[in-house]
Chain A
Amino acid sequence: MPIERSEELGVKIGLEVHVQLTALKTKLFCSCSANYRGMPPNTLTCPICLGHPGTLPVLNRKAVEHAMMVALALNSSISPQMFFFRKNYFYVDLPKNFQISQYDKAGGAPLSTGGWVEFSVNGERKKVRIRRIQLEEDPARLTYPGTITSAPYTLVDFNRAGVALLEIVTEPDMETPEEAYFFLQKLRSILEHLGVSSENMQGSMRCDANISIMGGARVEIKNISSFRDVRRALQYEIMRQKQLLRRGGVTKQETRHWDEDRQITVSLRVKETESDYRYFPEPDLVPVKIPEEWVSKVASQMPELPDARKERFISDYGIPEYDAIVLTSSKKIADFFEECCKLYSNPKKIANWIMSDLLRNINETGMDVTEMSITAEQFIEMIKMIDEGLISGKIAKRVLRESIRTGRPPRIVVEDEGLLKISDENVISKLADEVFREFPKAVEDARRDRKAVNFLVGQVMKKTRGRADPDVTNKVILSKLEENRAIPSRS
């Protein structure tokens, strides 16, 4: 029997998500600016984040607060006292050749443990448990001229070294690549709503995935840089392991690298050679006490989260739950929706346009919603143009697609491409005359059978690329059929 559905394969997927706390002004352990994007390499560094001898880390308290907000939002219980541990391994991107991180063994306590995220997958509720959330420093950024395997040298940019990073580890509760995708989407929406991490920054959220099939060995996939690729990498990996099992092979516990260009995973190393990180408590940092008062203070300052916002959308705007879920799956879209509702009084209509056209077009272009440039004003202007009869709904769909692809506002697209609806009877009459000349047979038919009129209307629409007002066109053609009855047709 062919193995097709993933439930039958016993697929178990766990994720390790690294989230940069991009809202912080400074790095986790020094006062260098954390806003490194677009900066010349190695300009945001100091002796501390370059790992100079004698330097000491000093914890950014704000980073702890941002991390606490994430823990609270993911229902994770915050440790009353947390510790930093050293994770020791040699690599060119680690200035000290150890990373200051956290650990849940050897008497360590990370920021928080436990928790869950609830989200919906094609209308069904799904809950994924969180194992732990920890705070650590980002390593430097490596760039390879060419590809990782063929580059003759590596460049190291320490601007990223020491930026505050959250590691969110889930239990292996996901059973399909889809679920992993929707989990990440929900997580991202939560982080965006908290305002701690901005997703329109390249590399601010990175993901490693663990996957096992039919109780086989756990394979770790590293270097996945987008949500879409998480889904693709997992799909690829399920296919690969499935084929391996079919041929009677056995999966090895190994780490695989996601090759974005070739869209495949390649083996990096098998478990036997994997490093022993020699974790031990960081002696340069004291244990961080997180008393209940601190937690409640942070909790009291938490902004509205996606689930609460969804409920509010249902009650305030009277939209269906499904719509509310889709609209709150991204902070940008939820904000966009609410902006639109201030400008236009039909929330359901707005929701429909966002869901069926705006989001679909964005997805089709392979763009991320955060890259969307259309404003609520422009979007509502377009909807009002439909209401006012300036453009048809069909034209509006075309305008929106064009607007999203080019970044031009809808009104400009309408103007540039001359897409305003034609309601002028004289213009339509002239076009109808042309059609009458071109299709004498159809005119004859239409005189006998009113059903054939639609063909003539269609031809006028074709000539105007859909811009002719259908009602006016119908009226004009009908009256022409009447008055032409007496005139003999040319033969």
Chain B
Amino acid sequence: MHLNRLTCHELVEMIKAQTVTAEEVVEHVFRRIDEVESKINAFISTFKEDALEKAREIDRKIRRGESVGLLAGIPVAVKDNICTRGKLTTCGSKMLSNYIPPYSATVVEKIEAAGGIIIGKTNMDEFAMGNSTETSFFGCTRNPWDLTRVPGGSSGGSAAALTSDETVLALGSDTGGSIRCPASFCSVVGLKPTYGLVSRYGLVAYANSLEQIGPMAKDVLDCAMLLTAIAGHDPRDSTSAPRSPYDYTSAINGDIKNVKVGVPREFFAAGLDERVEKSVLSAVSILEDLGATCGETSISYLEYVVPTYYLIAMSEASSNLARFDGLRYGFTAKCDGDWNEVFSATRSEGFGEEVKRRILLGTFALSAGYYDKYYLKALKVRTLIKREFEKALAKFDVLVAPTMPILPFKIGEIIEDPLTMYMMDIDTVPVNLAGVPSISVPCGFVDGLPVGLQVIGGFFGEEKILKVAYAFQEHTKFNLKKPEI
């Protein structure tokens, strides 16, 4: 039996029942990593010895009859922009290629408290800026469904590790689609929580006002389990919502009778790959077959979401990434000049092209004389978009849409064309601008390549989107299909 292929909910039962040990599960995962990692490149670093030690500790606790947490003995891969105390956290950048944080992110502490075992840090677009994982300083991650194609991004390493069974659970972060895009391209489940549901403490900021850490998993139930472990108020994050712990698996029962599903027509406009459109529309009829009431609705201003998103994200990024100057941590360029020259040399050599592009554009947008024209205007449009979602979600329980307008593309195919790259975020970024939750769930294959269905909910409506996604998954079973690697 390949334990690494099982889901979290299956494995936790087995580990607790002592049918298998956590140590065996971790061993299986690392055997698989040794087997396929050279092809996939999902990880930037792995912690085999530490993971095995922690697994044995869980096993001892279980043997002694002590209580263990929700994720007892379960391997979790963590995106490399989430701080792990004493363990390399690079953000996929040369700038932090030697950075070992002195503290752990709140979500990492929560996972460990729940008995989860951090097995390694996953590859990503540099500082989460990208949707293909191609901008990583550590090389591109490959899509397990087709090794010549991108896994999506920026949490491409986490998604690919799940698809190739190199982990059981994974954490991603989503600023403009970075969980949902790779979940869609790799045929796994990924959830972007409501802004404020999951603590951002320890997430290396790209665009603070847009991003959330979220769970990625092989099925919806696992996704709900990991969300249960990481959600909740954190006094260390002022933007964290004052919500008490909640068991997100409790609402999952497969029954979606009379759930009102809205289909916003703007998400099916020009630019959408016809094959993707067909998959998503057939998903809508499946939901109807399952008893949901589906109806057309509208989200206006969708044509403005990409520029709005990029103005806000780049502006915030230009400030967030200013701290990387080589003075206190991270990469420092060899340079004999004064502090100004050392800062410049460090930043010129330490950042990749896409990161520099976004810092420059963000710096420009915030400059005197442009602030009102760009940043402030973007904030206004953001408010309008938020209202659009509030309006639509007052009529419907959830909205469904394609996660990505296209299928996974070839490595190197679009990377030289930033505008085309940015336009691919059109279906994911509105959700971040509005701050609402959204899940991407596998909804079929076109020519062997995965398609993802996005289910969007109202504020703190995670329960509803998990419920709809689960019903769809249980009926379609696309999650069970695995690639040959």
Interface residues of A (CB under 8 A from B): 47, 50-59, 86, 88, 90, 92, 95-98, 106-107, 154, 156, 276, 278-280, 283-286
Contact = CB atoms under 8 A, between A and B. Distances in A.
A56 B323 contact: no
30 contacts: A47-B102, A47-B103, A53-B83, A53-B91, A53-B99, A53-B323, A54-B101, A54-B203, A54-B205, A56-B236, A57-B238, A58-B235, A58-B237, A88-B319, A88-B322, A90-B322, A90-B340, A95-B328, A97-B323, A97-B325, A106-B371, A106-B376, A156-B327, A276-B367, A276-B368, A278-B318, A278-B319, A283-B316, A284-B208, A285-B238
A58 B375 contact: no
A59 B339 contact: no
Given A53-B91, A106-B371, A286-B238, A278 B328 contact: no
B322 A54 contact: no
A452 B202 CA distance: 92
A278 B323 contact: no
Interface string B105-132: 1000000000000000000000000000
Interface residues of B, number: 47
B204 A54 contact: yes
Interface in B286-325: 315-316, 318-319, 322-325
Contacts of B205: 53-54, 284
Contacts of B315: 280
A262 to B, nearest CB: 23
Nearest to A53: B204
Interface of B: 81-83, 89, 91, 96, 99, 101-103, 105, 200-205, 207-209, 235-239, 315-316, 318-319, 322-325, 327-329, 339-340, 343, 363, 366-368, 371-372, 375-376
A59 B238 CA distance: 8
Q: Sorted from nearest, which 8 A-B pairs have the closest CB atoms?
A: A97-B322, A283-B208, A278-B366, A283-B209, A53-B204, A54-B202, A96-B323, A54-B83
Contacts of A88: 318-319, 322, 366
B238 A56 contact: yes
B283 to A, nearest CB: 35
Given A53-B205, A54-B101, A98 B319 contact: yes
B129 to A, nearest CB: 14
Contacts of A47: 101-103
Contacts of A53: 83, 89, 91, 96, 99, 101, 204-205, 323-324
Contacts of B91: 53
Contact of A280 (B239, B340, B366): B366
Contacts of A50: 328
A95 B202 contact: no
B368 A95 contact: no
Contact of B363 (A95, A106, A278): A278
A280 B102 CA distance: 29
A408 B298 CA distance: 84
A479 B315 CA distance: 97
Nearest to B209: A283
Nearest to B210: A283
A281 to B, nearest CB: 9
Contacts of B375: 280
A141 to B, nearest CB: 15
Q: Which of A54, A58, A279, A280 has the most chain B CB atoms closer than 10 A to its own CB?
A: A54
Contacts of B319: 86, 88, 98, 278, 280
A342 B461 CA distance: 68
A95 B324 CA distance: 9
A397 B329 CA distance: 60
Q: Which of A92, A279, A284, A286 has the most chain B CB atoms closer than 10 A to its own CB?
A: A284
A274 to B, nearest CB: 11
A278 to B, nearest CB: 4
Contact of A52 (B207, B208, B329): B329
Contacts of B318: 88, 278
A156 B200 CA distance: 29
A154 B239 CA distance: 36
Contacts of A106: 371-372, 376
Given A54-B89, A55-B201, A283-B239, 17 more contacts: A54-B201, A56-B238, A58-B236, A88-B318, A88-B366, A92-B327, A97-B325, A276-B367, A276-B368, A278-B363, A278-B366, A279-B366, A280-B319, A284-B205, A284-B208, A284-B238, A286-B239
B325 A90 contact: yes
Contacts of B202: 54-55
Contacts of A286: 238-239
A106 B366 CA distance: 11
A107 B379 CA distance: 12
Given A59-B238, A88-B319, A278 B367 contact: yes
Contacts of A285: 238-239
A107 B376 contact: yes
Contacts of B204: 53-54
Nearest to B234: A56
A56 B201 contact: yes
A88 B317 CA distance: 12
Contacts of A55: 103, 201-202
Nearest to B343: A90
Nearest to B105: A54
B367 to A, nearest CB: 6
Contacts of B322: 88, 90, 96-98
A403 B325 CA distance: 53
Contacts of A278: 318-319, 363, 366-368, 371
Nearest to B211: A283
Given A278-B363, A284-B238, A52 B102 contact: yes
A91 B328 CA distance: 13
Nearest to A97: B322
B66 to A, nearest CB: 32
Contacts of B329: 52
Nearest to B325: A97
Contact of B101 (A52, A57, A96): A52
A405 B371 CA distance: 57
A95 B239 CA distance: 22
Contacts of A97: 322-323, 325
B49 to A, nearest CB: 25
A51 B201 contact: no
B82 to A, nearest CB: 8
A453 to B, nearest CB: 78
A106 B368 CA distance: 11
